[in-house]
Amino acid sequence: MRILTGIQPSGDLHIGNYFGAIKNMVDLQNQGTVLAFIANYHAMTTVTNGAKLKEMTREAAINFLSLGIDPEKSVFWVQSDVKEVQEFAWFLSQFTPVGLLERAHSYKDKVAKGIAANHGLFAYPVLMAADILLFGSEIVPVGKDQIQHIEIARDIALKFNNKHGEILTLPEFKVDENVATIPGLDGAKMSKSYDNTIEIFSTKKALEKKCKKIVTDSTPLEEAKEYETCNVYNLAKLFLKEEELRALQVRYKSGKEGYGHFKLYLAEVIWDYFAPYREKREYYLANPEVVDAILAKGAEKARDLAYERMTKIREVVGL
């Protein structure tokens, strides 16, 4: 089974990134061949400063390696190091109706938020389809808001195959319903757009400060509290084992602690959970040549996979 996932270099990672995508990606390394890339071409739709994009791309590589991407189990590379994806995107654009792109939810949502309606943003799903289809991806883990992009990739692949034969694999999306939406400080989806995130690699003091901002109700300290609807509890359950969750539920019902106690407890839980990842990150920060070697090797593997398929594709389109 060939599994593909790409994540944009978006600066500081938060726990929504981790539980919504990265942890699943790491776990999938034991279930099949994982192709994982840093989507820096896609990031250009929102990051226009070249030096900043380069810095964010390297930071993303370090963070993903620190959080469990294993270059011995996965093919891990930077998107722009495999140039064939752009050539393939041009081929696929010949099979992409304008109406299909006009219906893309992501495009309409971003334009509504004030992002310039340029061709890069409009053609984003075609490049995403090229990422997926170039490598014969069978499974693409996504959040619910990305399902339409996989459906668009399938539509384009069907049109290409109808013209040139069964060359492209039709991908399937995979959504983990348990962690499809990670709540932020205010209970809405954790997102930098909403400024409601808890960063993974912040200082302990900054982490505690963020946790203290989590929105809770006004139940007095001496009264029992409802944990099911509590933003603090719903974040804590991402990290805790079943017996630890039951113990926390008892604390909520006891009427002996206030939300301030639970917020500090959550900060400790998060800090301890990511301790080994912080240690790995320090290693990669101190040894940038190791990161460069991993990305170079991953790009070579990805180019080999791309070359194999592109040879056939270039032949059938007449190049």
The domain made up of 202-273 is a member of CATH 1.10.240.10 = yes
The answer to whether residue 264 scores a pLDDT higher than 90 is: yes
Beta bridge partners of 77: 37
Which one has a higher pLDDT value, 5 or 113?
Answer: 5
Give me the mean pLDDT over the 249-259 stretch. Answer: 96
Is residue 225 among the annotated active site residues? no
CATH H-level superfamily of 2-181+288-317: HUPs (3.40.50.620)
Decide if 2-181+288-317 and 202-273 have a common fold: no
Q: What does pTM read for this prediction?
A: 0.87
Question: Please, is 164 exposed, middle or buried when counting C-beta atoms within 10 Å of its C-beta (0-12, 13-18, 19+)?
Answer: middle
User: How far is Cα 319 from Cα 317, in angstroms, rounded to an integer?
Assistant: 6
| Both tokens assigned to 266 | 């959550």
Give me the mean pLDDT over the 55-77 stretch. Answer: 95
Are 282 and 291 in contact, with CB atoms under 8 Å apart? Answer: no
Which one has a higher pLDDT value, 112 or 218?
Answer: 218
Residue in this structure with the two tokens 């001496």, named with its chain if needed: 222
Is residue 110 among the annotated active site residues? yes
**Helix (H) / strand (E) containing 35:** strand 33-38
pLDDT at 65: 97
HSE at residue 309, side-chain half, CA atoms within 13 A, is 21
Cα 167–173–176 angle (5° rounding)? 155
The CB density around residue 250, as the number of other CB atoms within 10 Å, is 10
Active-site choice (23, 110, 159, 280): 110
Cα 75–149–180 angle (5° rounding)? 80
Give the CA diameter of the chain. 76
Are 66 and 284 in contact, with CB atoms under 8 Å apart? Answer: yes
Locate the domains of the chain by residue range.
Answer: 2-181+288-317, 202-273
Average pLDDT, the chain: 93
pLDDT at 107: 85
Query: Could you tell me how far CA 106 lies from the centroid of its own chain?
Result: 15
The answer to whether residue 12 scores a pLDDT higher than 90 is: no
Is residue 23 among the annotated active site residues? no
Torsional sign, CA 298, 66, 18, 186: negative
pLDDT at 178: 58
pLDDT at 194: 85
Active-site choice (23, 159, 174, 189): 189
The answer to whether residue 180 scores a pLDDT higher than 60 is: no
Active-site choice (73, 192, 237, 280): 192
pLDDT over 70 percentage in the chain: 98
pLDDT digits (tens, 9 = 90+) for 36-46: 999 999 999 88
